[in-house]
């Protein structure tokens, strides 16, 4: 069995549901010690139990990535327990009202807070841990909304902003052999915006387990090159 991430520490945000859950299960299966982050403790500890039941290693850290104090607390505990962090998957994200006129100041602050500030807070707070790893890998989950503009002002802006942040992380990481990739997935079958799960064909809505496979492929790739960005779409919608 492939245990190529044995002894690696992988922090995954938004780990309790959807893509984050798939990534956590996949990286744990490859031998990583998974560090699970999301706000609600119960789904997180259920996932940690599920991973342990299949022989994997997982620790749950309930944390709101949009709250700088919550992030500082979780990062301090992670630093104390592990020292080094090899993989950081910045996946936690929330949707936003679709139209400009429906978006109020509170929506804007909340979505930018989770989808953009949350990525900066956690990456910055774990920076010393990432430097301490031999060749750390940061993956930032945007979405095709971060490429085409328009649509939801808060969501699109948060994901556009993430592109800038991804390259800032990549640039700062060079001297420490830290890689950073931004992924732009299209529709995934995670129940996003209340969509029913399992009803669309896979060619119209991607299986999050398959996207997790792609992520696993990236983080196990040779450390001397980097995939800067990648667009992943269901076969039926090959456009951004
Ligand atoms: N699904 C799609 O079609 C799609 C398409 C393109 C891009 N994306 C992006 O892919 C990522 C994952 O999407 P998904 O569909 O898997 O989402 P999801 O199923 O709704 O799961 C979101 C996860 O994030 C956690 N979370 C939300 N707010 C948080 C916060 N403030 N702090 C910490 N954790 C938080 C949630 O747990 P708690 O509620 O307990 O915190 C949950 O574990 C997001 O960044 C999303 O923007 C999704």
69 pLDDT more than 90: yes
- Give the domain 9-232 fold: Rossmann fold (3.40.50)
Residue nearest to atom 17 of ligand 1 (CA): 18
What's the pLDDT score for residue 148? 82
143 pLDDT more than 90: yes
What's the pLDDT score for residue 28? 98
As a whole number, mean pLDDT of residues 113-133 equals: 99
Local structure of 138: helix, strand or coil: strand
d(CA 88, CA 206): 22
Beta strand ranges found along 6-124 (DSSP E)? 9-13, 33-38, 57-62, 87-90
Q: Is the CB of 64 under 6 A from ligand 1?
A: yes
36 pLDDT more than 80: yes
b vs e for 82-118, b when ≥16 Cβ sit within 10 Å of the residue's Cβ?
bebbbbbbbbbbbebbeeeeebeeebbebbbbbbbbb
For residue 85, name the pLDDT band (cuts at 50, 70, 90).
very high
What's the pLDDT score for residue 239? 82
197 pLDDT more than 80: yes
For residue 149, name the pLDDT band (cuts at 50, 70, 90).
confident
pTM of the predicted model over 0.75: yes
Q: Is the CB of 114 under 6 A from ligand 1?
A: yes
d(CA 117, CA 191): 24
For residue 121, name the pLDDT band (cuts at 50, 70, 90).
very high
Please identify every residue annotated as catalytic. 155
Q: Is the CB of 192 under 6 A from ligand 1?
A: yes
């Amino acid at each position: 069995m492939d245990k190529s991430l044995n002894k690696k520490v992988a922090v995954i945000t938004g780990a309790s549901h959807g893509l984050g859950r798939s990534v956590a299960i996949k990286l744990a299966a490859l031998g990583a010690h998974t560090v699970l982050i999301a706000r609600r403790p119960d789904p997180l500890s259920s996932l940690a139990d599920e991973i342990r039941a299949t022989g994997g290693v997982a620790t749950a850290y309930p944390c709101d990535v949009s709250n700088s104090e919550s992030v500082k607390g979780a990062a301090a505990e992670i630093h104390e327990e592990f020292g080094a962090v090899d993989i950081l998957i910045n996946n936690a994200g929330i949707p936003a009202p679709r139209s400009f006129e429906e978006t109020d100041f509170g929506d804007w602050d909340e979505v930018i807070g989770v989808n953009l500030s949350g990525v900066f807070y956690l990456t910055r707070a774990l920076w010393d841990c990432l430097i301490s790893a031999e060749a750390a890998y940061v993956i930032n989950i945007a979405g095709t909304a971060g490429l085409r503009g328009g649509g939801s002002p808060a969501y699109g802006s948060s994901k556009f902003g993430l592109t800038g942040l991804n390259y800032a992380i990549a640039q700062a990481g060079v001297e420490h052999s830290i890689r950073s990739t931004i992924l732009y997935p299209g529709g995934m079958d995670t129940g996003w915006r209340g969509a029913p799960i399992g009803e669309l064909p896979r060619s119209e809505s991607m299986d999050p387990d398959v996207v997790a496979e792609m992520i696993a492929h990236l983080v196990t790739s040779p450390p001397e090159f980097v995939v800067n960005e990648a667009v992943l779409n269901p076969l039926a919608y090959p456009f951004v």
